[in-house]
Structure 1
Amino acid sequence: MAPCLKLRKGFNGSYAHEIRVMGSRMIFTVGDVMVKNVVAVNADQTVRHAAAIMSQLEIGCLVVLEKDRVVGIVTERDMLKRVVAAAKDPDKTPVKEVMSRPPIVVGPDLALEDAVKLMFEHKIKKLPVVERAGEGRRLVGLVTLTDVARIEPKLIETLKELFEMNEEKPPKSIEKVINYYIV
């Protein structure tokens, strides 16, 4: 029996992504696909330090922390636009001056489809995953649109069709991911 993709409306009004294979059901959550070993940087560290980490590890973003609490995210694009193009000194500029904030974060139990919708709505490709404990937001992972597309391209294809039905065009950065993974 071929896998069947369907959307299921949850109790909270959100839609969960379901795959049925031979009668069994599997609903993907953010926790199912998130990267758990996330590299983070302190908000007071310099852009040069953050860029060196990103270059050495060949990654496109760092989650920014203050006292183990997620306060932002810094991407290659942030550095290019807010440091290089603005002619700021990366040795003197703290990450907190160039990071994207406030961060849009999700919990590990959120339906994967809802996380992807957030990415599309806010025109972003990366979401820090936090476990809410009291006042803090402890970092437990990172989910990216690229990871989702690699693991579940049908979900990305469905969202592409939604854009087309609404006669909207996705942001270029998101369109690149769609076009790479969806034929």
Structure 2
Amino acid sequence: MTTAREIMSGGAECVRTDQTAADAARMMADLGVGALPICGRDDKIKGVVTDRDLVVKVLAAGRSPEEFPAGSLNQAEAVTIGADDDAEEVLATMTRHRVRRLPVIDGTRLVGMIAVADVARTLPHAKTGDLVEALSAD
């Protein structure tokens, strides 16, 4: 049985709720990623911010990235997966919530991220195709 821990890219970092959208953008650039988990002062994941969120919710809306709080970019519900959950649960969670990136937690601690690319590298093509189809459907 393949687990989330085996699929994920490790070493994920959080942008903090009290940091700014500009901080999130710099972190993404420095890390070479398109999404970051948003973590609160309690180190719990509050959501995920994507490069698209920064463009649509901050820049296109005429807000200042240097002043806009990263914590205001999180979703109503933080969608995560447990490190020891199996691949089927990873696929089901990504499909159900229509997310392309999924923080992986061990207890409440962030241990990695799973992106569609990680799924494509690890799981059979048919399963990856089903996920991409589900994420692309309107």
TM-score between the two structures when normalised by the length of structure 1: 0.67
Q: Equivalent residue of 2:81, what SS?
A: coil
Give the 5 Å matches for 1:28-107: 28-66=2-40, 67-107=42-82
Relative contact order higher in (CA < 8 Å, ≥ 6 apart): 2
Q: Equivalent residue of 1:51, what SS?
A: helix
Identity fraction in percent? 30
Please identify which structure carries the higher helix content: 2
Q: Distance in 2 between matches of 1:171 and 1:131?
A: 25
Q: Distance in 2 between matches of 1:143 and 1:101?
A: 20
Structural RMSD (CA) = 1.9
1:110 deviates by 1.0
- The residue that corresponds to 1:170 in the other structure is 134
Q: How many matched pairs?
A: 135
Residue 108 of structure 1 is aligned with which of 65, 83, 90?
83
Which 5+ residue runs of structure 2 have no aligned equivalent? none
1:41 deviates by 1.1
Q: Distance in 1 between matches of 2:124 and 2:55?
A: 29
Contact 2:15 2:24 in 1 (8 A): yes
Q: Distance in 1 between matches of 2:4 and 2:135?
A: 22
Q: Distance in 2 between matches of 1:113 and 1:104?
A: 16
Which amino acid is the alignment partner of residue 58 of structure 1? G
Which 5+ residue runs of structure 1 have no aligned equivalent? 1-26, 164-168, 175-183
Following TM superposition, where does structure 1 have runs of at least 4 consecutive aligned residues deviating by more than 2 angstroms? 169-172
Contact 2:47 2:75 in 1 (8 A): yes
Please identify which structure carries the higher strand content: 1
